[in-house]
Structure 1
Amino acid sequence: MTEQPQEPEYDEDETYQLRLFITGASPNSTRAILNLKEICNQFLKDHYELEIIDVHQQPLIAQAEQIIALPMLIKKGPGAERRLIGDMSDREKVLRGLGLS
């Protein structure tokens, strides 16, 4: 019998607070948005809040968060703050960063 990969478990009472910093409609930004939404919809269902912040339109927020590379995802909670850089195409890296694997 073959084992089916199981979806990582999370506490359904917790809402993941996510901030994705992008640079306009660049290809990397577009990929990051699509990849992250796909991962969140599959693994977190309705238990996440995703704020997408364009650093050109909201530079003060980017400055306050000390954004050093883009696109960048910041997981504010639950748990410790985590930062991921890139287009979010490495699913395992994103899941680890969110604490889901």
Structure 2
Amino acid sequence: MAKASKKYELRLYIAGNTPRSVAALNNLKRYCEEHLKGIYEIEVIDLLVNPTLAEGDQILAIPTLVKKVPEPVRKIIGDLSDEEKVLVGLDIRPAR
């Protein structure tokens, strides 16, 4: 389980309300509630609204999740349906 002292700052880049974008956000919220309850913050950036924001994090594909804090910065591309891959990418050890 994640340590309570850690705060996770996550940024999800999407492009509109596509099925993949919606799935990515729903999956991310579910994992966060399950494994990071109370210690996470999700910022959703819609590149159809703010296309210039993709440059800062070098976003090449949509949807992309960027873990800003805690370091190291990590990126996960796709609809986040593979829970194990997402947890490994976020460096979260599931509670057993």
**TM-score when normalising by structure 2:** 0.93
2:88 partner letter: R
The count of corresponding residues between Structure 1 and Structure 2 is 93
Structure 2 unaligned spans of 5+: none
Deviations 1:3-62 (A, max 9, x none): xxxxxx211011101000001100000000000000000000010010000011111111
Cα RMSD, aligned residues only = 0.8
Q: Name the counterpart of 2:48.
A: 56
Query: Could you tell me how far 1:79 is from its partner in structure 2?
Result: 2.2
**TM-score when normalising by structure 1:** 0.89
Question: Following superposition, which runs of at least 4 residues in structure 1 exceed 2 angstroms of deviation?
Answer: none
- Bigger-Rg structure (1/2): 1
Aligned-pair identity in percent equals: 45
